[in-house]
Amino acid sequence: MILNINGHNLFVEDLGLKNNEAIVFLNGVMTTTSSWYELSDWFVKNGYRVILHDFKGQLKSDKPQGPYTFKEHAEDTIEILKKLGVKKAHFIGTSYGGEVGLKIGILFPEYVKSISVIDSVSELDQTLKNEINHWTELCKNNDGYQFFWGMAGGIYSNAYIQKNKAFLEKRAYATKHMDKSYFEGQITLYETFMNDVTMTEELKCIKAPSLIVCGELDTLKPPKFSKIIADHIMNSEYIVIPDAGHVVIFEKPKELLTLLIGFIKKNKIKV
């Protein structure tokens, strides 16, 4: 469904039992809500309410002129919950979505039962800046196939690429047909990330139970960044998943699901 949120139309999915515990999944920068289905389906089938949406700038939502701020993304997410009548939720975010989750934990603690942050950062280094600048240049060519393979080495581990070449080639061809607005939205989101992701000193404000997960082989946002996040959130739990690159949600979904199920069950919401 489409909801008008703070003046923009955002694509939202509201799945599962409406009166049960709610889990909000927050997308990585290049993806859409379907990227979560392999993980979110278990929660839907086991009685949870699952809420997903594309941020403004992403595939199925409006792409207003930016850059935006993570505060705006957090406000949009909370406004969705208000419209759906959700007063408290678990938040699970990967990469850009994890960073939005952190900002929600900082600004809207009353809505947060737990936060799970996967392959995210709260600050930048030059290597990360260089990679995002590279993605920006790829977007300017409006060639989805070239874009996909140009960024693939930064987000997938070498072992995963070698093992899944045929699958990734299909994804590259699917990306080839993305229209210009997708790439314009991506550039805006990259600008938002570069301008506004620094929030390490604010993390001490997060009091909710927090699970910080990263792939051992993540070269885009290496484990050092997840360790920084964990070190600045009181009583957080820090897990490194072996033999996984940046997109743990694709490379190690079974292992990640086990972690998420245990963490959410441990921090049950009283409905």
Q: What is the CATH number of the domain that holds 49?
A: 3.40.50.1820
Q: What are phi and psi of 222, to 5 degrees?
A: -60, 165
The answer as to whether 151 is a domain residue is: no
Domain count of the fold of the chain: 1
Q: pTM of this prediction?
A: 0.95
Residue 271: pLDDT above 80? no
Range 204-222 burial, b when 16+ CB lie within 10 A, else e:
eebebbbbbbbbebbbbbb
Asked if residue 67 has a cis previous peptide bond (ω within 30° of 0), the answer is: yes
28 — phi, psi (to 5°)? -70, 165
Q: Is residue 152 part of a domain?
A: no
- Whether residue 140 lies inside any domain: the answer is no
What pLDDT does 84 receive? 98
Tell me, yes or no, whether 252 lies in a domain: yes
Q: Please give the Cα distance from 189 to 194 (Å, whole number).
A: 9
155 is a domain residue? no
Residue 261 counted as domain residue: yes
94 located within any domain: yes
The domain of 35 spans 2-124+199-266
Compute the half-sphere exposure of residue 129: CA atoms within 13 Å on the CB side of its CA.
Answer: 9
Q: What is the pLDDT of residues 45-59, one digit of tens each?
A: 999 999 999 999 999
Residue from 23, 31, 11 nearest 174 by CA: 31
Among candidate residues 32, 37, 2, the one with its CA nearest the CA of residue 16: 37
Structural domain includes residue 69: yes
* pLDDT tens digit sequence for 87-120: 999 999 999 999 999 999 999 999 999 999 999 9
Nearest to 196 by CA among 116, 96, 105: 96
